[in-house]
Amino acid sequence: MKKVIKFIFVFLLILIGVFFVLPLFTTNKYTVERTIQLDSEKEAIASFVADFNHFDKWSPWAEIDTNMQVVIQGESGAVGSNYHWKGNEEVGEGIMTLTHKQQDTLRVNLKFVEPFESENPTYYAFHEMKNGTKVTWHMEGKMAYPWNIILLFMDMEDAIGKDFKKGLKKLKKTFDKDIQKNKNLNFSAIQETEIPKRNFIGVKDQLNFGNIQSFYAAHLPALYSYVNKHFTLSGAPTGLYFSWDDKKGETTMAAAVPIRELDANVDTTYSSWIIGGKALKYEHYGNYDSIHLAHERLDLYLEENNLTKDSPVIEEYVTDPGQETDTTKWQTNVYYMLKK
Based on the fold, state whether residues 244 and 136 are members of the same structural domain. Answer: no
Q: What contacts 253, CB < 8 A, 6 or more positions away? A: 204, 205, 207, 212, 215, 239, 240, 241, 242, 312
- 134-152: average pLDDT: 65
Q: Are residues 259 and 151 in the same domain?
A: no
Residue 15 neighbours by CB distance under 10 Å: 10
Q: 157 and 224, same structural domain?
A: no
Neighbouring residues of 297: CB distance < 8 A, sequence distance ≥ 6: 182, 185, 187, 189, 190, 282
Q: Is a pLDDT exceeding 90 seen at residue 140?
A: no
Is the pLDDT at 73 greater than 60, yes or no?
yes
CA atoms of 201 and 97, how far apart (whole Å): 35
In this prediction, residues 167-173 reach a mean pLDDT of: 88
Within this chain, do residues 205 and 299 fall inside the same structural domain, yes or no? Answer: yes
pLDDT of amino acid 305: 86
Q: What is the pLDDT at residue 172?
A: 87
Q: Tell me, yes or no, whether 216 lies in a domain.
A: yes
* Domain match, 153 and 289 both: no
Please check whether residues 250 and 213 belong to one and the same domain: yes
Residue 143 is classified by DSSP as -
323 DSSP 8-state letter? T
Q: What is the average pLDDT across 182-207?
A: 84
User: Nearest to residue 150, comparing CAs of 312, 8, 26?
Assistant: 26
Residue numbers of the domain that contains 71:
18-177
pLDDT given at position 156: 59
Q: Classify residue 245: in a domain, yes or no.
A: yes
Helix (H, G, I), strand (E, B) or coil at 36: strand
The per-residue pLDDT for 133 is: 87
Residue 89 — very low, low, confident or very high, per pLDDT cuts 50/70/90?
confident
- Where is the domain boundary, 177, 196, 223? 177
CA distance 188 to 229: 41
Distance of CA 213 to the CA centre of its chain: 14
**Domain end (from 151, 177, 203):** 177
| pLDDT tens per residue across span 101-116 | 887 899 999 888 877 6
Provide the CB-side half-sphere exposure for 235 (13 A, CA). 20
Q: Is the per-residue pLDDT at 144 higher than 60?
A: no
Q: What's the pTM?
A: 0.50
Residue 339 has pLDDT above 70, yes or no: yes
Asked whether residue 218 is domain-assigned, the answer is: yes
- Rounded to an integer, the average pLDDT of 208-220 is 93
Is-contact 210 75, C-beta < 8 A?
A: yes
Q: Is residue 32 part of a domain?
A: yes
Tell me, yes or no, whether 192 and 173 share the same domain: no
Residues 164 and 37 reside in one and the same domain? yes
Same domain, residue pair 139 and 198:
no
- Spatial CB neighbours of 131, under 8 Å, sequence gap ≥ 6: 37, 39
Let me know if residue 6 belongs to a domain.
no
Q: Is residue 28 part of a domain?
A: yes
- Rg value, the chain, Cα: 26
How high is the mean pLDDT of the chain? 82
Same-domain check for residues 105 and 39: yes
CB distance 318 to 274 below 8 Å:
no
CA distances from 152 to 12, 117, 149, 306 (A): 20, 20, 6, 59
Residue 202 lies in a domain: yes
Look up the CATH number of the domain holding residue 62. 3.30.530.20
Amino acid 200 reads F
255 and 132 in a single domain? The answer is no
Which of 177, 209, 241 is the endpoint of a domain?
Answer: 177
pLDDT value, residue 280: 95
Greatest CA separation found in the chain?
A: 102
Residue 1 inside a domain? The answer is no
The one-character DSSP state at 233 is: B
The CATH code of the domain that includes 277 is 3.20.80.10
For residue 270, count CB atoms less than 10 angstroms from its CB and return exposed for 0-12, middle for 13-18, buried for 19 or more: buried
Residues 156 and 201 in one domain: no
Per residue in 234-249, pLDDT (tens digit) is 999 999 999 998 878 8
| pLDDT tens digits for range 216-227 | 999 999 999 999
Beta carbons of 69 and 94 less than 8 angstroms apart? no
* pLDDT for residue 151 is more than 70: no
Structural domains in the chain (count):
2
Q: What percent of the chain has pLDDT over 70?
A: 81
Distance between CA atoms of 286 and 208, rounded to whole angstroms?
23
